Structure 1
Amino acid sequence: MSRAKFFIIALTSSFLWYIFPGYLFQTLQSISWVCWVFPHSVTAQQIGSGLNGLGLGALTLDWSAVASFLFSPLISPFFAIANVFVGYVMIMYIVIPISYWGLNVYNAKTFPLYSLDLFTDNGQEYDITAIVNQNFELDLEQYQKQGRINLSTIFSLAYGFGFATIAATVTHVALFYGREIYDRYMASSKPKADIHTRLMKNYKDIPSWWFYILLGVTLVVSLALCIFLNNEVQMPFWGLILGSFLAFSFTLPISIITATTNQTPGLNIITEYLMGVIYPGRPIANVCFKVYGYMSMSQAIAFLSDFKLGHYMKIPPRSMFLVQFIGTMVAGTVNMSVAWWLLHSIKNICQPDKLSDSPWTCPNDHTFFDASVIWGLVSPKRIFGKEGNYPQLNWFFLVGLLGPVVVWGFHKAFPKHHWIPLINLPVLLGATANIPPAAAINYNSWILFGTIFNFFVFRYRKNWWQRYNYILSAALDAGVAFMTVLLYFSVGIEEKKIIWWGNKDHEHCDLATCPTAKGIIVDGCPVF
């Protein structure tokens, strides 16, 4: 079968199937059978819920749940999937249960096991609007009345492992790739042209001044925003310079991790932390700094990835540059316009409350907002410092910094064991970096599908894998995308719904979000 024919068949199948989890039978998005077996047990539902718990045994028949947060597992190498699996099991099924049920770390039982919300000491949702003044800065008096901010167990530990991940990235790259980076840098003036490079010489190269002009224009526009719209942006001009420097410094080490594992550790935590310490109490400034420091780096890696693909596919470099430039301008404008339209046209958008009955729960935006409150508005010193509840999480930086040293030491001591350097701590420690907003069901399904296709299919049907694997991944993504658009314009706009057991609740794990501490009162939850 030709690849084109296979792509059409797979796309059509994906398109037709998605009508079930996407509209007719939405429970297929998270089949948490443990909750069905124990409908009145809070603990069982916390363990079995794929959306709000540990997701033990939870499965999905929805491709969007598989690839939405972690991208397609079909295009990740198996050793990277194995690292994610080990890290995920270690964190989700060992560290978190011990922290929550065993040690009750940070009064964990007072709050849900997994939640994107922020809480007061008595387990109630934190009123963020009450601690923000008219200038979108922290109202210290109102903050002191409500008390310290608390996070759910999974949310708080995710930050700790995030600290370890960014530290491990620096050490891992320095130890395992430092010599290679140095040698390639020294030899860059006399490159050895491979067959791909020789073939690409047939095309005109991109003039360096194209990049310099684009960099200069964007910096000037960004500086103008910081200077002339400072009341709205809040970020001083030096924040732009510092954010750009961070993005430039971390692009190389994180690009190496991305190129070898297809997993990209994020700079979001370190940028938020740094700006929160230097310039506390200003959430908009923190968000802007995060965009210039973290998003710039991630976009640079995506830019390099596109050029790498173009290099192997023999696409003219100037055409690649222009397509990327025009695509960025169009995508940015369209995204902003659509977001503005959605915010003003859809009721209860981004409200995960079941009473709103809205599919627009916006977990990414919810997490982004929480981060602006934690790092920007309240500041790290009132969360992770002496004035907060989580100062011990800063030790994760040291764990991440020293972890790759141990792995590297074992590799040098036992060089014949070739599996030792495959232990990639930036990937292993960052296994749950996308939780939140991702949930256990996303990881369970991602690991399962990735293992099936990258290990068993590759091992026993290698020719099929080489010919159709990436085609299948693209077809599944495209089929879901097309059906999503069709469902929205056909039944979504008019809010036409099919109400039955399979659609009434996406998971049927209502008690998974309940606290288990004694005396905590939450609507819809039993009181212990």
Structure 2
Amino acid sequence: MENHPPRELPALQRSPIRSLSPNEEEDDSPIEQVRLTVPITDDPTLSCLTFRTWVLGLMSCCILAFVNQFFGYRQNSLYVSSLSAQIVVLPLGNLMAAALPTKVVRFPGSGWSFSLNPGPFNLKEHVLITIFANAGSNSVYALGIVTILKAFYHRPISPVAALMLSQTTQMLGFGWAGMFRKFLVDSPYMWWPSNLVQVSLFRALHEKEKRPKGGVTRLQFFLLVLTSSFAYYIIPNYFFPSLTALSFVCWIWKRSVTAQQIGSGLRGLGIGSFALDWSTVAAFLGSPLGTPGFAIVNIMAGFFIVLYIAIPLTYWLNAFEAKRFPLFSSHVFDITGAPYNVSRILNETNFEFDQHGYDSYSKIHLSVTFAYTYGLSFATLTATVSHVALFYGRSIWQQTKEAFTHKFEDVHTRIMKKNYDVVPQWWFYLLLAVNIALAMVACEGFGGQLQLPYWGVLLSIGLALFFMLPVGIIAATTNMSAGLNVITELIIGYMYPGRPLANITFKTYGTMSLSQALMFLGDFKLGHYMKIPPKSMFMVQLVGTIVSTSVYFGTGWWLLTTVDGICNPAKLPEGSPWTCPGDDVFYNASIIWGVVGPLRMFGKLGVYYKMNYFFLFGLLSPVPFWYLSRKFPDKKWLRLVNMPVLLNGASGMPLVKAVNYICWGAVGIYFNIYVYNRHKGWWARHNYIMSASLDAGVAFMAILTYFALQTRDINGVSWWGMPLDDHCPLAKCPTSPGIVVNGCPVF
């Protein structure tokens, strides 16, 4: 919920494990989906780390890193996944194979040489380039710390310290991945379901395709949609930004606060609101075309229950004095309804909590939507544990015993062991040791700008190590992983209160070292399925992570130092997209957990202590559906009710607006339920490619518009549709009597 890169939501279905005959055990995988998708052949003579791999891989890595960080500060922070690069590099690779000379380049005195063109562009080169792109598409969470320091707290930070923070948070995961790779990669029961989508796409792209009569090839379809998306996006991006949210209810009842709270797609319930902008659909939640239909239904069910039942009841019953504050906001407020003045409770000298200032000012208050966001995060954490234990506990335990005893190795593991050398374990340990040392230098050095002592670094990565195996098992078998951001905030908030930068730095090291480890392991499993030499995989992951982090950091630092008023809508020109919605949530979280602390927010001294009941609610919520699914096994839909997904679906608010959910759900249900069931052939051929081309078209036009026009202060025609807004100004107003807010009526 705090500036996390959007990802595909999990397809949680029971692993179809059955007993295999001895002959089947010798020939294939115990997982049916793997048997149906992954080939059991390998050609070890294919070249991997070629000149083409390095050129296209580094280019993809850098472009995706730049684009995603560039969009990360915008109102609709579109996420461009590696899928776009996966498709685009195929014709480029074939072009290089056709055009480059076969000349061998030799390095004098070293005996080392390489060929510019070792032959036809092959599948293994394509996989490694995609791994490069994966590194570029995985955002640098630590840049949130740099952003809120420079743009919100207006405090200096050494660029060296900021770069070391960014690199170490991204690199620590290598150590944990190395420790657990034998268990979470080599084991056939750890099958990483999301990788099967990429395996299918690789096979489709590399199979020879003949253009169907009256139709187009996949590549031609990609280019057609890309061109259309690129051409259209000039309208919502430059000429008519208000297309990002069209809220007709507000325009009918222009003077009613309640009507605008109900109708606003950006600051309210979004009833009747929609958009004609792909970036609204795909921003924050990712492309709905890549999310399974049943997961979309779970997410939208959670969204409707929370936004249209729980939040209105809480607000209009005035629980937590909710009417004093906006219905839908990610900001923090004082008791008068005014924005919380953090400077009154923060000592400017040592940048720590000022108890006297707090006692003479006000407790911290949230909008009811923001309060529910934290409650749902609590519930999701415990629901994940409960759901996995109930629905998957027995099979995971059986799989765990099998993996530890090495009782079974599938054909893919045997091929990899036979044909390729493994990565030495000491490579991982060396990286881990170096990065731990650099992390402590970044936190303790440079005048202690990050506030976190060395023991905080060790404790945070220790938490990641503790959760690595259980969370890794869940991710590898169900495609779902629990984040550590809430639990890390709680722990450091109680142990080391009143220090906002220490809190978010601790959270970042704990959360990202685990998250990165899971990403590395997932990529290793993709290489395992595609029969990529492990040392080549390691090299690409290592170089890709270092390069992408550097590009993310450089792009972020450049925008923070060149865009006037970035992240401050009051100082930005009309229509400017540089509102930093994700970093705004990250900043307010630093106040909640770091400055004020969990004891004064969700503990006995806080306004929102009742939100702790969400821990219990989440723990118990999967039980009824587990019980009913066992009692009525013929009712298969009961097993598709997934409470962690349902609860987590709505927890993206208020960063994710109502109009984002509505448009995302409508597009997802149409394509991944209606089209999938009625026109499965078209869906299988075009769905994922359409998703990639729409994303890429929007990204290319946004970048072109920015550099060609907006950097020259040419911001379009001034008219009603120019603001990046849904024209519902009263939706932000409180409705409690006597609360005075600029631009709002006083009740």
Give the TM-score taking structure 2 as reference length. 0.68
Quote the Cα distance in structure 1 between the aligned partners of 2:299 and 2:711.
38
Q: Which residue does 2:458 correspond to in 1?
A: 241
The answer to whether the Cα contact below 8 Å between 2:372 and 2:651 also exists between their aligned partners in 1 is no
Which residue, out of 196, 209, 227, partners 2:426? 209
Quote the Cα distance in structure 2 between the aligned partners of 1:19 and 1:260.
42
Q: Which residue does 2:586 correspond to in 1?
A: 368
User: What per-residue deviation string (whole Å, max 9, x for no partner) do you get for residues 93-134 of structure 1?
Assistant: 100010111x11111111000112111101011111222112
Q: Which residue does 1:137 correspond to in 2?
A: 352
Q: Shift of residue 414 of structure 1? A: 2.5
Relative to structure 1, the CA distance from residue 525 to residue 158 in structure 2 (aligned partners, 3 Å threshold; closer, same or farther) is same
Pairing 1:113–2:327 present:
yes
Amino acid corresponding to residue 77 of structure 1 in structure 2: P
Quote the Cα distance in structure 1 between the aligned partners of 2:486 and 2:661.
21
Amino acid corresponding to residue 442 of structure 1 in structure 2: N
Relative to structure 1, the CA distance from residue 27 to residue 105 in structure 2 (aligned partners, 3 Å threshold; closer, same or farther) is same
- Aligned positions of 1:107-506 closer than 5 A: 107-133=321-347, 134-188=349-403, 189-190=405-406, 192-201=408-417, 202-229=419-446, 231-254=448-471, 265-353=482-570, 356-357=573-574, 358-497=576-715, 498-506=717-725
Quote the Cα distance in structure 1 between the aligned partners of 2:359 and 2:248.
43
Quote the Cα distance in structure 2 between the aligned partners of 1:468 and 1:209.
44
Identity %: 51
| Structure number with bigger Rg | 2
Question: How many residues in Structure 1 have an aligned counterpart in Structure 2?
Answer: 527
SS in 1 for 2:633: coil
Q: Which residue does 1:523 correspond to in 2?
A: 742
Quote the Cα distance in structure 1 between the aligned partners of 2:253 and 2:531.
57
SS in 2 for 1:522: coil
Relative to structure 1, the CA distance from residue 352 to residue 178 in structure 2 (aligned partners, 3 Å threshold; closer, same or farther) is same
Relative to structure 1, the CA distance from residue 258 to residue 398 in structure 2 (aligned partners, 3 Å threshold; closer, same or farther) is same
Q: Shift of residue 514 of structure 1? A: 0.8
User: What per-residue deviation string (whole Å, max 9, x for no partner) do you get for residues 190-230 of structure 1?
Assistant: 36444544554534433322222222221222233344457
The answer to whether the Cα contact below 8 Å between 2:565 and 2:572 also exists between their aligned partners in 1 is no
The answer to whether the Cα contact below 8 Å between 2:346 and 2:354 also exists between their aligned partners in 1 is yes
Q: Report the RMSD for the aligned CA atoms in angstroms.
A: 2.0
The answer to whether the Cα contact below 8 Å between 1:175 and 1:408 also exists between their aligned partners in 2 is yes
Quote the Cα distance in structure 2 between the aligned partners of 1:39 and 1:232.
48
Quote the Cα distance in structure 2 between the aligned partners of 1:61 and 1:301.
35
Quote the Cα distance in structure 1 between the aligned partners of 2:273 and 2:478.
26
Relative to structure 1, the CA distance from residue 373 to residue 23 in structure 2 (aligned partners, 3 Å threshold; closer, same or farther) is same
Give the TM-score taking structure 1 as reference length. 0.95
Relative to structure 1, the CA distance from residue 428 to residue 361 in structure 2 (aligned partners, 3 Å threshold; closer, same or farther) is same
The answer to whether the Cα contact below 8 Å between 2:577 and 2:724 also exists between their aligned partners in 1 is no
Relative to structure 1, the CA distance from residue 97 to residue 140 in structure 2 (aligned partners, 3 Å threshold; closer, same or farther) is same
SS in 1 for 2:740: coil
The answer to whether the Cα contact below 8 Å between 2:302 and 2:647 also exists between their aligned partners in 1 is yes
Amino acid corresponding to residue 496 of structure 2 in structure 1: Y
Q: Shift of residue 452 of structure 1? A: 1.1
Quote the Cα distance in structure 1 between the aligned partners of 2:685 and 2:382.
38
Structure 1 gaps, min length 5: none
SS in 1 for 2:730: helix
- Aligned positions of 1:72-91 closer than 5 A: 72-91=287-306
SS in 2 for 1:353: helix
The answer to whether the Cα contact below 8 Å between 2:444 and 2:451 also exists between their aligned partners in 1 is no
Amino acid corresponding to residue 548 of structure 2 in structure 1: A
Quote the Cα distance in structure 2 between the aligned partners of 1:22 and 1:251.
41
The answer to whether the Cα contact below 8 Å between 1:173 and 1:253 also exists between their aligned partners in 2 is no
Structure 1 range deviating more: 442-451 or 370-379: 442-451
Relative to structure 1, the CA distance from residue 128 to residue 67 in structure 2 (aligned partners, 3 Å threshold; closer, same or farther) is same
User: What per-residue deviation string (whole Å, max 9, x for no partner) do you get for residues 330-361 of structure 1?
Assistant: 12122222222222211111013387533211
Quote the Cα distance in structure 2 between the aligned partners of 1:521 and 1:129.
21
The structure with higher relative contact order (CA 8 Å, sep 6+) is 1
Relative to structure 1, the CA distance from residue 351 to residue 55 in structure 2 (aligned partners, 3 Å threshold; closer, same or farther) is same
Q: Shift of residue 241 of structure 1? A: 2.5
Pairing 1:36–2:251 present:
yes
Structure 2 gaps, min length 5: 1-215
Q: Shift of residue 140 of structure 1? A: 1.3
Relative to structure 1, the CA distance from residue 156 to residue 306 in structure 2 (aligned partners, 3 Å threshold; closer, same or farther) is same
